[in-house]
Structure 1
Amino acid sequence: MGASLNEIKSKIASTAKTSQITGAMQMVSAAKLQKSENHAKKYQTYASKVKQVTLDLVSHDKGPSKNPMMLKREVKKTGYLVITSDRGLVGGYNANILKSVMSELMKKKNDDAFSVMALGGMGADFFKARDIKVSYELRGLSDQPNFEEVRHIVSEAVKLYQSEEFDELFVCYNHHVNSLTSEVRMEKMLPISFDDVTSTPSLDTFELEPDRDQILDQLLPQYAESLIYGSIVDAKTAEHAAGMTAMQTATDNANSVIHDLTIQFNRARQAAITQEITEIVAGAAAL
């Protein structure tokens, strides 16, 4: 019985240490989440202004733009930019997005019908393990990435579209709803479309120099890059929220295990004491 008590005590101690670690990781993720949410809010202010200017230019003079980034081509090949984390311990964050992407890829007739770019080590390793070619990958992104960190993969995605390596681009990521919820999104970023946007142009009273199409030639690639970067910021926020939730669940489970083990330990100790008293009484009666 003594060995059993020591074994239970050892389990309680090791589980308590695990609980302390997961509790600390939860606090770290919570701090990162708050910073990411603030970063996302600041970015949304910039993104809304860029979108409004772009929309005004597109709507100016009421004429359709001939810019290739807005023209719909026959879809022969689809590009997917898949955003995951570099590590685990984030619950179902990676599994949800990868499952959705694989479901889309399985609909394609062959490997030549799609191109995959991976932002995050978990996604890159996932596709490579399944012999799916990753045309570009980026790992080691910081917790609050700035545009310079992701400029290359974002610019590469836009460049591949402009060179007609693929005819449409989807960005696949987890959208941050709140600290407990995220939802998988597969948004078409290219070609750029404003079909679902209703806005009154505000540039009618201005003379544009150079003309609208020359301005759009410079602005539309930057606008597309801002859309993709916004998805990355959103995905990072969802990642921190998933990590915080996962660590909170792990901490709660550890505390529950400690509670159960403590009850088991007390019962085992009570049984041992009862047995010792019984042996003492039996010995005294024998005398």
Structure 2
Amino acid sequence: MKVLVIGDIVARPGRTAVLERIEDLRERYKADLIIANVENLAGGYSITPPLVEELLAVGVDVMTSGNHIFDKREAIAYINQQPKLLRPANYPPGTPGNGMWVGQVNGVGVAVINLIGRVFMGPADDPFRAADALLRELDPSVRVRLVDFHAEATSEKCALGWYLDGRVSAIFGTHTHVQTADERILPQGTAYITDIGMTGSHAGVIGMDRDDVIARFLTVTHRRLESAKGDVRICGIALDIDEQTGRARGISRFAIKHES
């Protein structure tokens, strides 16, 4: 199975790039399944239902998220209605939405799990034990298991990668918006990368206007962050998974410059 994972889509530049290039990407990587992190979809903060539906309509199959998913009020009700939009599974009990999607892709059982880190992040339950609980829920026939770990600290991401090696097909980091060059297949067959990068404008600071960000470092009277423009890139990874064993056969990262 070929899986395409698109890194954090940030605001209009990132959305436009995905909408315009998704068919090219599907063909280039022969993707059977497309996953995208969308927690920054609407102006850099959370989602709106029309924007999610727009991405689903063009072929994004499952969407993961992170710490900004509930920044917009409309996300709270909508996430209960859209099973293909995930929030971190280790958020406290009672949080709207689900942290795992289970479905069929070309007749093969697939699970997508969304977790969030605790180091330098907001309150959340233990992602290691949450992963254990979710994996116990899965039918053994669901061998293709993909984990988006939305976390800040490289050490926490790497530790979870080793912890889940051999139990999931791939674990890929999101959140930092900076693609790392450490993609590999761990000894027990799990593909790993610390961060898959950001889809959006690389002309600013992690997708936001550089002057707005610099102002936040220089003064307490800073202004609201707006998304950057220009130098748009689509970042992510392509995975090759053995459908019979669930082990990864390949992982490669990409950072494709997009000219609108």
The structure with the largest strand share of the pair is 2
Looking at both structures, which has the greater relative contact order when contacts are Cα pairs under 8 Å and sequence separation is at least 6? 1
